[in-house]
């Protein structure tokens, strides 16, 4: 029987020197979660609850602006992803709108029309998410048994990290899609949501991820799956839109720079006598193909590019 909830892990031992037992327990829980689900929730992660609530409040205000106002934050040319305000195309099954930003200080900052409070809160959120990503990345590094700071040094350019504020439209009698079934193409993703809707697939069963106040949902993505040669899994998940009400969330994508070469690490292949399950690729090439899935959806669903495109038979 499938467990009907994903693990929740307390990260407070990583902020308290000397709590080695607590760190060991948390690491063991995360190792299990990454192997079985690819999903877990974290509490006491260092992102202030007051800031998370304020970010949700201000994003709700932004999405209530007129379309004319929101379009003033339209996408920037030249960004690796379409930064700024976007609404899913009419031919997409995904029914949402979103505001995407890149690291503060980069050339891809896009903010809503209010340049003061919302900008400040978004930058604070980005900063806290970045710190939490470093912590979780270091824990995942240890869970995989890699040398200290291996993933940090591999992922030494964080200019492609990005954050998204999302609003999902209410479900209708005919449509309840929020974001259709998929795996994330980056390294590690954080999500917090104001209400349920996020679900993870486990053994053919969709498990609802029930929000816990102050928690962050963590899911591993394709790059970790490839680097670990399938030791850790990239979680298949979706968003089901609620009926009669909108759903708001924030997502932070810890990723790698586009020219980074990705392939299974020798620690999980030749050093232990295992064949590589993926051929190598440049990250930007994979992202271009994933973006094309959204902008020019193939008529045949089997032609949608997933990480299995690089799998070795």
Q: What would the pLDDT profile of 261-275 be if each residue is shown by its tens digit?
A: 999 999 999 999 999
Q: Give dist(CA 147, CA 144) in Å, integer.
A: 9
Q: What is the DSSP letter of 242?
A: P
Task: Kindly report, residue by residue over 195-251, the tens digit of the pLDDT.
Answer: 888 999 998 999 999 889 999 999 999 999 999 999 999 989 998 877 788 889 999
**Average predicted confidence (pLDDT) for the chain:** 87
Helix, strand, or coil (residue 13): helix
User: Over 90: is that where the pLDDT of 78 sits?
Assistant: no
Q: What domains does the chain contain, in order, with CATH numbers?
A: 8-259 (2.60.120.330)
Q: What is the pTM of this model?
A: 0.91
* Terminal alpha carbon distance of the chain: 30
Q: Give dist(CA 168, CA 187) in Å, integer.
A: 24
Q: Give dist(CA 179, CA 194) in Å, integer.
A: 16
């Amino acid at each position: 029987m499938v467990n009907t909830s994903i693990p929740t892990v307390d990260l407070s031992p990583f902020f308290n020197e000397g709590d080695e037992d607590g760190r060991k327990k948390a690491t063991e829980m995360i190792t299990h979660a990454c192997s079985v689900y690819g999903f877990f929730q974290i509490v006491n992660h260092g992102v202030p609850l007051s800031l998370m609530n304020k970010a949700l409040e201000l994003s709700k205000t932004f999405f209530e602006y007129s379309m004319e106002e929101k379009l003033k934050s339209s996408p920037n040319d030249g960004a690796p992803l379409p930064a700024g305000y976007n609404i899913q195309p009419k031919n997409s099954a995904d029914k949402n709108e979103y505001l995407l930003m890149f690291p503060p200080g980069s050339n891809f900052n896009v903010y809503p029309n209010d340049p003061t409070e919302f900008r400040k809160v978004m930058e604070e959120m980005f900063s806290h998410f970045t710190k939490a990503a470093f912590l979780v990345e270091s824990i995942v590094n240890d869970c995989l048994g890699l040398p200290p700071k291996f993933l940090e040094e591999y992922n030494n350019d964080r200019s492609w990290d990005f954050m998204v504020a999302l609003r999902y439209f209410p479900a209708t009698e005919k449509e309840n899609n929020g974001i259709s079934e998929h795996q994330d193409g980056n390294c590690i993703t954080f999500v917090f949501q104001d209400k349920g809707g996020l679900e993870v697939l486990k053994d053919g069963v969709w498990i609802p991820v029930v929000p816990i106040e102050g928690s962050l949902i963590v899911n591993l993505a394709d790059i970790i799956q490839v680097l670990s040669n399938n030791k850790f899994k990239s979680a298949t998940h979706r968003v089901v839109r609620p009926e009669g009400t909108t759903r708001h969330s924030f997502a932070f994508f810890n990723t790698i720079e586009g020219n980074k070469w990705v392939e299974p690490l020798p620690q999980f292949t030749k050093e232990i006598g295992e064949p590589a399950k993926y051929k190598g690729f440049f990250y930007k090439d994979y992202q271009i193909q994933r973006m094309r899935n959204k902008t020019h959806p193939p008529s045949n669903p089997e032609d949608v590019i997933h990480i299995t495109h690089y799998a070795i038979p």
